[in-house]
Amino acid sequence: MQNPPILWSFRRCPYAMRARLAIKSSGQTVELREILLRDKPDAFLATSAKGTVPVLNLHANVIAESIDIMHWALGQADPDRWLNMPDAGHDLIAQTDGTFKTALDLYKYHVRHPDGTRDTAQESGAVFLRELNAMLDDQLWLFGHQTLADMAILPFVRQFANTDRVWFDAQDWPHLQGWLNRFMTGDTFAAVMHKYPPWQVGQDRVLF
């Protein structure tokens, strides 16, 4: 491919992670440019108006939201039928990106906030996680088979779990914990979490 789209990414960012998951599932090829958030290249800042990842440069236009990148990739090809889900899946993604992400940030970065923030944010996030656990009671994935909702939400659940893994593992959420474990031990997750050195001007391109 002479001129593939360019995906600016940061390996551990859950937004960038879910973009890579959809691109991998769709079978599309992009040029992956890994960055360090503390040392953003000028070429990245020229592409990303907000200075955030992921950003997909299609050359004719730029997609700057992770969920839009997922829809772009799956719109090219959706062999795993991730888009075959009810409207409730889109509602769950919106909830993840809204109230759950707010709780996650307050929980993960509680030292930046007043005392008591951590426990309040932990419980706020747990409300959503209990809902997901209930949905997974009799099925492996949120809507029976793996969908966009699973892959858009799981990177954020992973980050929440890793904030205090001992606490998370001690919760009575067997279905949620099994769901997260299936994700983290799956081939697709392993494929999108390969470590690449930070992009530099003039380097050989990395096709993903």
27 with 117, same domain: the answer is: no
Q: Assign 156 a pLDDT band (cuts: 50, 70, 90).
A: very high
Pair (21, 64) in one structural domain? yes
- Which residues, other chains included, contact 90 with Cβ-Cβ below 8 Å and sequence gap of 6+? 149
* Helix residue ranges per DSSP H, 96-186: 101-108, 117-135, 148-163, 165-170, 174-184
pLDDT tens digit string along 92-108? 999 999 999 999 999 99
Across 162-182, average pLDDT? 98
- The total domain count for the chain is 2
Tens digit of pLDDT for each residue in 46-57? Answer: 999 899 999 999
| Residue 51, Ramachandran bin (φ over 0: left; ψ between -120 and 50: alpha; else beta) | left
* 17 and 107 housed in the same domain: no
Q: Where residue 84 falls among pLDDT bands split at 50, 70, 90?
A: very high
Residues β-bridged to residue 55: 8
Together in a domain, 151 and 197? no
In a domain, 65, yes or no: yes
Query: Is 1 within the bounds of a domain?
Result: no
Find the CATH number of the domain harbouring 109.
1.20.1050.10
Range of the structural domain that residue 10 is part of: 6-79+189-207
